[in-house]
């Protein structure tokens, strides 16, 4: 049950924009002193005792501001409207998913992975394809049509050439947006372009792997000139799918459309090989769905085994990524008895016989 925070008239409110060690950078709603727009705060001991964590994006109440020293103390955390666990960030309104149209080349399967992960957050999604200057008009139209059939409207930009970056900025106004996507697609360059006062380190593309190197080390919120906050998150190559097998189909717009038009014969249909399934069919990302479904089933099986240590089967991975389930051996029954234990048993038997 979430604890209710009370806000009194005159309370000093702000948003946590960065966390490092036990210190929290809080951007204030109202500037109380000349040139002081944020305070470096600690967390009240009372919050530590009740287990109240403070994460980036939290709306907080600040007490005892030291305007000269730029310090303060977080006295309370307001209820969160939304929360992401990885990365840990609160009150996010939307996800800005950034991919490259080229260099590195656009990989549909990798893009699907990120799209499904973004859908699972139930937040608004803005899809951005950077480096559009490296492809022809015909290629851009082909990619646009393809992704449109997936159920998304891609925004083509070029940070390097300054193409349609302002148009993208209007979609971020007055919102807290998380930037996500694989490394090397230009996320840091995009943030530098949207917020000139921020200069993030830009990584190079690895020629051998055609992938980018990580440049961001921690989560931080940056204020957009037009209003709103932008969260740069640590780079990662592939997000984990943490949904259940039953939920997965609803994270594909193509599958959702089919489910809204009709229903499968079985209520627990996984849309794999069940008869009279409305989802199974000829749509481009259906093979992606099947692969992700195997991931979701494997994850659910592992969680069930952890919850039920008495489970009698285990999942074993064979060559070429194939897996199957085998019965578990009873560890105590088949474990070899040590020599020390054997000698102790023999000594006990000898002593008993003498008695």
**Length of the chain, please?**
355
38 is in an annotated binding site: no
113 is in an annotated binding site: no
56 is in an annotated binding site: no
136 is in an annotated binding site: no
271 is in an annotated binding site: yes
264 is in an annotated binding site: yes
186 is in an annotated binding site: yes
105 is in an annotated binding site: no
In the 3-class helix/strand/coil scheme, how is 127-165 assigned residue by residue?
EEEECHHHCCHHHHHHHHHHHHHHCCCCEECECCCCECH
93 is in an annotated binding site: no
60 is in an annotated binding site: no
133 is in an annotated binding site: yes
117 is in an annotated binding site: no
Rounded Cα–Cα distance for residues 50 and 41 (Å):
18
Rounded Cα–Cα distance for residues 277 and 290 (Å):
14
Pairing relation of β-strands 71-77 and 313-317? Answer: unpaired
183 is in an annotated binding site: yes
Rounded Cα–Cα distance for residues 279 and 150 (Å):
14
- Detail the residues annotated as belonging to a binding site: 130-133, 181-189, 264, 269, 271, 277
- Detail the residues annotated as belonging to a binding site for Zn(2+): 264, 269, 271, 277
- Detail the residues annotated as belonging to a binding site for GTP: 130-133, 181-189
């Amino acid at each position: 049950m979430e604890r209710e925070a009370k806000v009194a008239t005159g309370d000093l409110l702000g948003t946590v924009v960065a966390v490092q060690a036990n210190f929290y950078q809080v951007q204030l709603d109202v500037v109380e002193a000349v040139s002081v727009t944020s305070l470096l705060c600690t967390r009240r001991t009372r919050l530590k005792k009740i287990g109240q964590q403070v994460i980036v994006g939290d709306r907080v109440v600040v007490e005892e501001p030291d305007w000269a020293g730029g310090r303060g103390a977080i006295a309370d955390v307001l209820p969160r409207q939304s929360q992401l666990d990885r990365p840990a960030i609160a009150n996010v309104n939307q996800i800005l998913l950034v991919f490259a149209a080229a260099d590195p080349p656009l990989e549909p399967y990798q893009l699907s992975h990120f799209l499904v992960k973004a859908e699972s957050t139930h937040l608004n999604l803005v899809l951005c394809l950077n480096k559009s200057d490296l492809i022809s008009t015909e290629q851009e139209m082909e990619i646009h049509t393809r992704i449109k059939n997936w159920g998304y409207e891609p925004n083509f930009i070029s940070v390097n050439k300054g193409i349609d970056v302002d148009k993208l900025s209007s979609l971020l106004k007055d919102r807290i947006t998380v930037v996500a996507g694989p490394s090397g697609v230009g996320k840091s360059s995009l943030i530098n372009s949207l917020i000139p006062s921020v200069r993030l380190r830009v990584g190079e593309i690895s020629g051998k792997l055609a992938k980018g190197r990580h440049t961001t080390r921690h989560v931080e919120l940056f204020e957009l000139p037009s209003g709103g906050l932008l969260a740069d998150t640590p780079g990662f190559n592939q997000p984990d799918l943490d949904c259940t097998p039953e939920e997965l189909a609803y994270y594909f717009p193509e599958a959702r459309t089919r489910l809204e038009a009709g229903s499968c014969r079985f209520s627990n249909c996984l849309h794999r090989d069940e008869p009279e399934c409305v989802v199974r069919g000829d749509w481009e990302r259906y093979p992606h769905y099947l692969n992700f479904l195997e991931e979701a089933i494997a994850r659910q099986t592992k969680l069930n085994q952890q919850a039920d240590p008495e489970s009698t089967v285990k999942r074993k991975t064979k060559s070429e990524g194939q897996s199957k389930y085998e019965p578990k051996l009873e560890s105590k029954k088949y474990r070899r008895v040590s020599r020390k234990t054997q000698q102790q048993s023999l000594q006990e038997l000898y002593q008993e016989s003498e008695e």
